[in-house]
Amino acid sequence: MRLAVLILLALVPVAAPVAQDASGSDLFAIRKNFGLFADIYRALASEYVDPVDAERLMRTGIASMTDDLDPYTVFFDEATTAAGRLSQGGEVGGTGVIVQEVGGQLVVVSVLDASSGESQGVRPGDALVSVGGRSAEGLGSQAAAGILEGEPGSTVELVVEGTPTRAGVDPLFLFVDRNKGDNVVAITEE
């Protein structure tokens, strides 16, 4: 099967015509090449000899397409787009949760008094399992802080493994509101 995938990949340059404007016969070429891209993606993601990170594979393909055009055409994913909109609008809400990477794990080191994080039960010492639906494993404190902040009034899901005083309720699923004035801080050094 690996040989078939490699042969399929070798045929891509032959099958990909030079892009023209999107009129008449070009729509056929676009559909054909999109189908070819989808077939190759599907084969690599599901049948490659080693495990493949399907999302990373797709993003690499997208980056290759935009890189081939010019240095000014870029792809922004949803998280980057949302962060840009928030920074331009100046309205950013936080959870009041301060995180630090400790021994490869994201840990809550402090929770601001009267913050939404405190009212939902986030405690210092809690280890983050996931933030906003993303696994906290390998996420890093800056990335976690970026997910914890967002549009004021919106909610972010936190899954934490609590301190020993909370034994028997792990993991704890919390929905924490992002409030204006509740800062989010990422401490990068251990």
Domains of the chain: 2-75 (no CATH), 93-187 (2.30.42.10)
Looking at residue 8, its pLDDT comes to: 42
Looking at residue 23, its pLDDT comes to: 57
Looking at residue 169, its pLDDT comes to: 59
How far is residue 170 from each of residues 128, 133, 137, 144, measured CA to CA in Å?
11, 17, 17, 20
Name the percent of the chain lying above pLDDT 70: 69
Looking at residue 39, its pLDDT comes to: 92
Residue 127 bridge partners (DSSP): 107, 161
Inform me whether the pLDDT recorded for 19 exceeds 50: no
| One-character DSSP codes across the chain | -HHHHHHHHHHHHHH-PPP--SSTHHHHHHHHHHHHHHHHHHHHHHH-SS---HHHHHHHHHHHHHHTT-TT-----HHHHHHHHHHHH---EE--EEEEEETTEEEEEEE-TTSHHHHTT--TTPEEEEETTEE-TTT-HHHHHHHH-BSTT-EEEEEEE--GGGTTS-SEEEEEE-EET---EEE---
What mean pLDDT comes out for the span 159-171? 67
Name the percent of the chain lying above pLDDT 90: 3
Mean pLDDT, rounded, of the chain = 75
pLDDT in tens, 99-151: 888 888 888 888 888 888 888 888 888 888 888 888 888 888 878 888 888 77
Of the candidates 127, 121, 123, the residue with the CA atom closest to the CA atom of residue 102: 127
Residue 156 bridge partners (DSSP): 176
Calculated CA dihedral for residues 46, 47, 48, 52, nearest 10 degrees: 10
Looking at residue 163, its pLDDT comes to: 64
Inform me whether the pLDDT recorded for 20 exceeds 60: no
What mean pLDDT comes out for the span 9-17? 45
How many of the other CB atoms lie within 10 Å of CB of 186? 19
Residue 24 bridge partners (DSSP): none
What mean pLDDT comes out for the span 95-101? 85
pTM value > 0.85: no
* Pairing assessment for the beta strands 155-161 and 172-177 based on DSSP bridges: antiparallel
